Amino acid sequence: MTLKMGVVGTGAIGREHIERITKRISGAEIVALSDIHQENAEQIIRDFKLDAQFFATDAELIAADVDAVIVSSWGPAHEETVLKAIEAGKYVFCEKPLATTAEGCKRIIDAEMKQGKRLLQVGFMRRYDAGYQMLKQALDAKEIGEPLMLSCQHFNPQVDENYTTDMAVVDTLIHEIDVLHWLVDDDYESIQVFYPKQTKNKLSHLKDPQIVHLVTKSGISIHAEIFVNCGYAYDIQCRVVGEDGILSLPEVSSLGIRKDAKRSENLLMDWKKRFMDAYDNEFNAFINAIEKTGSPSYPTAWDGYVAAVTADAGVKAQQSGEVEKIDLPETPDFYRI
């Protein structure tokens, strides 16, 4: 079976996903595109020689002959498109954020549960990164006993002037928020944000770097450094201290260079390259799970909701400087996969 996919939002990541579905993975084809900028979508149709139709609105695309919709427009537009797609009974791959508020995510969960089967997967691709999967397997096998403390860093070389202080949580930390509780199989209890000495390289309206302290229900302490104008590279690190040892996220493999009396390795500057395989893997999982089980894989809409509730508390913590509680209900059986 070939899954017929439509894409709503053909900007940076939409284009990447179209390329991977067209050139790198099998089991799906792009048959429909929609974007506010018609010329961008039509350029993509030409660039990838797609046999696909342009639709002026998401509603028309959803009503067309598509089995699944990729939602990769800007965040505030996600909820409306996702709800329309679920109501039409279409499968959805939604880029993060699922919705920009926890209430919006809850509306999506309610709509999906009303349909009686899971239709949606969220684009938190780190769960499909080989390094994070190695960490997960070792943690599940209790190779270092119980995890006690995690320390992570999410560093970007630089951000543009549209990047605001809250985006450090809702856009950047959001990936750690999703992947870390999955790694240790625990829910979050609280969050606090600190502002250490600030970099001279930041924009005047921005707080950078920021340190986030998350605590899980079982008491695991997570220290996350967010530094989005670090200059030197796109650098993602994660280290787990357990009762019996330490696990570290593997470094990205890179050519070793010995030259001019120096030994060196290049680091990545572009986030797209760091998680290239993970993006491919998440789409393979989406397509294969639908074919085998009739529903997509994880992360589910519930994971999108958990991330939104945690991010909301994180933004509150940025403003208050206090420890903010993260109130999450029990995961419904519908979302236990």
Contact (CB, 8 A) for 156 and 269: no
Applying CB under 6 A, the span of 73-81, 104-112, 183-191, 317-325 interacting with ligand NAP comes to 73-81
Q: Are strands 120-122 and 147-155 parallel, antiparallel or unpaired?
A: unpaired
Q: Quick check: 12 binds ligand NAP (CB under 6 A)?
A: yes
Task: Pick the closer one to ligand NAP by CB: 33 or 290.
Answer: 33
Question: Using CB under 6 A, which residues numbered 119 to 178 contact ligand NAP?
Answer: 123, 125
- Using the rule CB under 6 A, which residue among 29, 48, 75, 207 binds ligand NAP? 75
With H, G, I as helix, E, B as strand and everything else as coil, classify residue 70: strand
Minimum gap (Å) between residue 244 Cβ and ligand NAP: 33
The DSSP 8-state label assigned to residue 251 in this structure reads P
**φ, ψ for residue 79, nearest 5 deg:** -55, -50
Distance CA 33, CA 73 (A): 11
Contact between 312 and ligand NAP by CB under 6 A: the answer reads no
Applying CB under 6 A, the span of 72-80, 149-157, 211-219, 285-293 interacting with ligand NAP comes to: 72-80
Q: How far apart are CA 335 and CA 304, in angstroms?
A: 11
Among 34, 100, 121, 284, binds ligand NAP (CB under 6 A): 34
Binding residue for ligand NAP, selected from 6, 14, 299, 304, defined by CB under 6 A: 14
104 contacts ligand NAP (rule: CB under 6 A): no
Tokens of 303: 């994971």
- Concatenated DSSP letters of 245-286: -EEEPPPPP--EEEETTEEEEPPP--HHHHTHHHHHHHHHHH
Shortest distance in whole angstroms from residue 127 CB to ligand NAP: 11
297 three-state secondary structure: coil
Smallest distance from ligand NAP to CB 79, Å: 10
**DSSP structural state of residue 145:** B
**Distance of alpha carbon 106 from alpha carbon 10, whole angstroms:** 26
**Sites of contact with ligand NAP (CB under 6 A):** 8-9, 11-14, 34-37, 40, 58, 72-75, 77, 95-96, 123, 125
